[in-house]
Structure 1
Amino acid sequence: MLVDVQEQTKPLIRNKRKAFQRTAKRVLFIFLGAVFVAVGLEIFLVPNRIIDGGIVGISIILSHLTGWTLGLFLFFLNLPFLLLGYKQIGKTFAFSTLFGVAVMSVGTTLLHPVPSLTEDPLLAAVFGGIILGIGVGMVIRYGGSLDGTEIVAILVNKKTPFSVGETVMFLNLFILGSAGFVFGWDRAMYSLIAYYIAFKMIDLTIEGFEESKSVWIISENYKEIGDTILARLGRGVTYLNGEGAYTGDDKKVVFCVITRLEEAKLKSIVEEVDPSAFLAVGTIAEVRGGRFKKRDIH
Structure 2
Amino acid sequence: MIIAGAIFMAMGLELFLVPNHLLDGGIVGISIILAHLTGFELGLFIFLLNIPFFFLGYKQIGKTFALSTVLGITVLSISTYLLHPVPRFTDDLLLATVFGGIALGVGVGLVIRYGGSLDGTEILAILFNKTTPLSVGEIIMFFNLMIFTIAGFVFTWEQAMYSVLAYFIAFKTIDIVIQGFDESKSVYIISDYVDDVGQAIMDRLGRGVTYLHGEGAYTGDEKKIIFTVITRLEEAKLKTIVEDIDTHAFLAIGNIAEVRGGRFKKRNIH
TM-score tier after normalising by the smaller chain length: over 0.9
Amino acid at match of 1:60: I
Amino acid at match of 1:185: W
The CA deviation at 1:108 is 0.7
2:113 corresponds to which residue? Answer: 141
1:191 corresponds to which residue? Answer: 163
Q: TM-score, normalised by structure 1?
A: 0.88
- Indicate which of 200, 203, 206 corresponds to 1:231: 203
In structure 2, C-alpha distance between the alignment counterparts of 1:207 and 1:58, rounded to whole Å: 28
In structure 2, C-alpha distance between the alignment counterparts of 1:73 and 1:89, rounded to whole Å: 24
In structure 1, C-alpha distance between the alignment counterparts of 2:205 and 2:240, rounded to whole Å: 11
1:90 matched to 2:62? The reply is yes
Query: What whole-Å deviation, never above 9, does each CA across 1:7-59 have from its counterpart, x for those lacking one?
Result: xxxxxxxxxxxxxxxxxxxxxx2111111101100111111111111000111
In structure 2, C-alpha distance between the alignment counterparts of 1:92 and 1:239, rounded to whole Å: 40
In structure 1, C-alpha distance between the alignment counterparts of 2:21 and 2:195, rounded to whole Å: 60
Higher helix share: 1
In structure 1, C-alpha distance between the alignment counterparts of 2:246 and 2:94, rounded to whole Å: 50
1:176 corresponds to which residue? Answer: 148
Q: Secondary structure at the match of 2:185?
A: strand
2:185 corresponds to which residue? Answer: 213
Aligned-residue CA RMSD in angstroms?
1.2
In structure 2, C-alpha distance between the alignment counterparts of 1:51 and 1:43, rounded to whole Å: 12
Write the mapping of 1:63-78 to structure 2, written as runs, cut at 5 A. Answer: 63-78=35-50
Query: What whole-Å deviation, never above 9, does each CA across 1:228-276 have from its counterpart, x for those lacking one?
Result: 1111111111112222233332211111101111111111111111222
Q: Secondary structure at the match of 2:223?
A: strand
Structure index of larger Rg: 1
The CA deviation at 1:185 is 1.8
In structure 1, C-alpha distance between the alignment counterparts of 2:160 and 2:192, rounded to whole Å: 57
1:20 corresponds to which residue? Answer: none
1:284 corresponds to which residue? Answer: 256
1:120 corresponds to which residue? Answer: 92
1:99 matched to 2:79? The reply is no
In structure 1, C-alpha distance between the alignment counterparts of 2:176 and 2:138, rounded to whole Å: 21
In structure 1, C-alpha distance between the alignment counterparts of 2:259 and 2:50, rounded to whole Å: 32
List gaps (5 residues or longer) in structure 2.
Answer: none
Q: Secondary structure at the match of 2:269?
A: coil
Q: Secondary structure at the match of 1:240?
A: strand
Query: What whole-Å deviation, never above 9, does each CA across 1:155-190 have from its counterpart, x for those lacking one?
Result: 111111111111111110111111112122221121
Amino acid at match of 2:138: E
> What percentage of residue pairs aligned between the two structures are identical?
70
Alignment length, in residue pairs?
Answer: 270
Which one is further off, 37-46 or 273-282?
273-282
List gaps (5 residues or longer) in structure 1.
Answer: 1-28
1:130 matched to 2:102? The reply is yes
Q: TM-score, normalised by structure 2?
A: 0.96
The CA deviation at 1:293 is 1.2
